[in-house]
């Protein structure tokens, strides 16, 4: 990454929940362990069945989480600038259950590979802990949203007197 891009990414990350407790130098250190990747609209970022060897942070654009259901593609979520994607398969090492697709022509992501994450854990544990906390918050928000959707669906199917 060039100097100008690195400065822009540092400024961007400094505004995200992930880096709330980190200094500017720690954010720059995190960036040293990552790479910037770009995708065009409808390009697959990660696919169903793959084990996550990287996790991503959306810098610009959007990424959709798509699932196959009875021959149809169903969108189960979206990540916008500041969102983390790919964390479930990355941390549990299970095959992905969703396809992650870029939804705009200039979708920019920061990619953290498993190898670099393992180095980060050893060399900069405070930064790695911040990543884990961000993943937990992200997955918690997903779980809460899905729980609410299930409750709403249950009320719809069974009525309110259940």
Domain residue spans in the chain? 3-158
Per the CB < 8 A criterion, the answer to whether 125 and 26 are in contact is no
The answer for residues whose C-beta is within 8 angstroms of residue 3's C-beta and 6 or more apart is none
Q: Is the pLDDT of residue 37 over 90?
A: yes
The answer for residues whose C-beta is within 8 angstroms of residue 64's C-beta and 6 or more apart is 75, 77, 78, 100, 101, 103
The pLDDT-based confidence of 82 (bands split at 50, 70, 90) is confident
Per the CB < 8 A criterion, the answer to whether 51 and 96 are in contact is yes
pTM of the model: 0.75
Question: What CATH number should be reported for the domain whose range is 3-158?
Answer: 2.60.120.10
d(CA 131, CA 104): 26
Q: Over the stretch 123-141, which tens digit does the pLDDT of each residue have?
A: 999 888 888 877 776 665 6
Q: What is the pLDDT of residue 102?
A: 96
User: What proportion of the chain, given as a percentage, has pLDDT over 70?
Assistant: 72
Beta bridge partners of 72: 69
142 CB-contact burial (10 Å; exposed 0-12 / middle 13-18 / buried 19+): middle
Beta bridge partners of 69: 72
């Amino acid at each position: 990454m060039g100097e100008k891009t690195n400065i822009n990414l540092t400024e961007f990350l400094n505004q995200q929940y992930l880096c709330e407790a980190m200094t500017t130098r720690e954010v720059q250190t995190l960036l040293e362990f990552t790479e910037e990747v770009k995708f065009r609209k409808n390009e697959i970022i990660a696919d169903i069945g793959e084990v996550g060897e990287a996790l991503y942070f959306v810098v610009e654009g959007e990424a959709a989480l798509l699932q196959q259901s009875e021959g149809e593609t169903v969108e189960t979520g979206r990540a916008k600038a500041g969102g983390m994607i790919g964390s479930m398969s990355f941390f549990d090492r299970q095959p992905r259950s969703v396809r992650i697709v870029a939804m705009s022509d200039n979708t920019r992501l920061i990619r953290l590979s498993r190898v670099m994450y393992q180095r980060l854990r050893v060399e900069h544990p405070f930064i790695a802990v911040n990543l884990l906390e961000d993943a937990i918050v992200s997955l918690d928000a997903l779980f809460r949203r899905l729980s609410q959707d299930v409750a709403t669906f249950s009320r719809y199917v069974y009525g309110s007197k259940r």
